[in-house]
Amino acid sequence: MQVCVLYAGKARDNDKLKAISEALARGIAGNGHTVDVINMYTEEKRLTVYDYVIIGSEPVSFFSASLPAVIKKYLAQAGTVSGKRSMAFISGGLRKNKTLLNLMKLMESEGMYLKLSEVINKPEEAQAVGKRLNVERNY
């Protein structure tokens, strides 16, 4: 299966979020899937070819539950995402659950079908989530 891990933090270059996204990708790839990791600030890619889409982010400030504006803009220009099976994850911030809820609402407003949502703080946690994540089609 083709899987895409998209991430966008409060800054253009976010080493922590990148490390978590790459660890998640390693966990999924360990189950025999093809995984691409994409920084939404710097790379443009159509999501139409992917079977499963994962979006990770963090709040724009420590006390906020707001997401970076680039996520909504990216999804609007990424091709057909409606009906895609997906996962949302958040890292950092004081109001993690509210931030995760905002990300989930954003993804659902684009027509994405959320299968899982997580708060992930470390690459080790991300790899474990990736290993147990079921990206296969469940009809």
Domain boundaries, the chain: 2-132
Rounded-to-integer distance, Cα 113 and Cα 72, Å: 16
Contact criterion met (CB below 8 Å) for 111 and 82: yes
Residue 13 is predicted with a pLDDT of: 85
Multiple choice CATH, 2-132, 3.40.50.360, 3.40.50.2000, 1.20.1050.40, 2.60.40.1930: 3.40.50.360
Largest CA distance in the chain: 40
pLDDT per residue over 56-92, tens digit each?
Answer: 999 988 888 899 999 999 998 988 888 899 999 999 8
133 secondary structure, DSSP code: -
Question: Looking at the predicted structure, is the pLDDT value of residue 2 above 90?
Answer: yes
Write down the pLDDT at residue 94: 84
> Residue 139: pLDDT above 60?
no
In this prediction, residue 137 carries a pLDDT of 67
